[in-house]
Amino acid sequence: MASQHIEIESHRQNAQVYTGEAICKEKTQEVLAKFSLPKGLIPMNDVTEVGHNASTGFVWVRRKKKTNHLFRAIGRKVSYDSEVTAVIEDRRMRNLTGVKSKELLIWVTISDICINDSGKITFGTPAGLSRTFPASAFEEEA
């Protein structure tokens, strides 16, 4: 997590930074929508800060503590560290840090997320493995 903190600080100078749970949720959803990504991709409970450096595409979400989230539509549990970082592009998040998905009995690091033309979202690992799901499974849950 120390390397994530250093990377966030290196992008902070030219970034739009927001604090407070309500504004963080609003701004995160705006950024996700701008890049055609599902609004529920990153759960926003206990978020303390979000930032987006438009010139580099670097984004981050800081929360009070690590959290787990169950995406009910696909029955997958995902773990989010207290700091999550990525480089965001149209329909893609790459160099993702701080996100893991539970596969069978082990937690697998997620490093890449992209949406294809058919509305499917693919999650990639550093080892080159991937899983694809309907993007609709990651829309904001009520």
pLDDT at 3: 66
Which residue is it, tokens 């407070």? 20
Q: Encode pLDDT of 86-105 as tens digits.
A: 999 999 999 999 999 998 89
Binned at pLDDT 50, 70 and 90, residue 142 comes out as low
Residue-range definition of the domain harbouring residue 108: 2-138
CB 95 within 8 A of CB 86: yes
Domain count of the fold of the chain: 1
**Residues in contact with 122: Cβ distance below 8 Å, sequence separation at least 6, in sequence order:** 112, 113, 114, 115, 116, 130, 131, 132
Residue 6 has pLDDT above 80, yes or no: no
Q: Residue 110: what are its φ and ψ, rounded to 5°?
A: -105, 130
Q: Is 5 exposed, middle or buried (0-12, 13-18, 19+ CB in 10 A)?
A: middle
Q: Encode pLDDT of 56-68 as tens digits.
A: 999 999 999 999 9
CA separation for the pair 139, 30 (Å, rounded): 13
CA separation for the pair 71, 43 (Å, rounded): 10
For the chain, the maximum distance between any two Cα atoms, rounded to a whole number of angstroms, is: 41
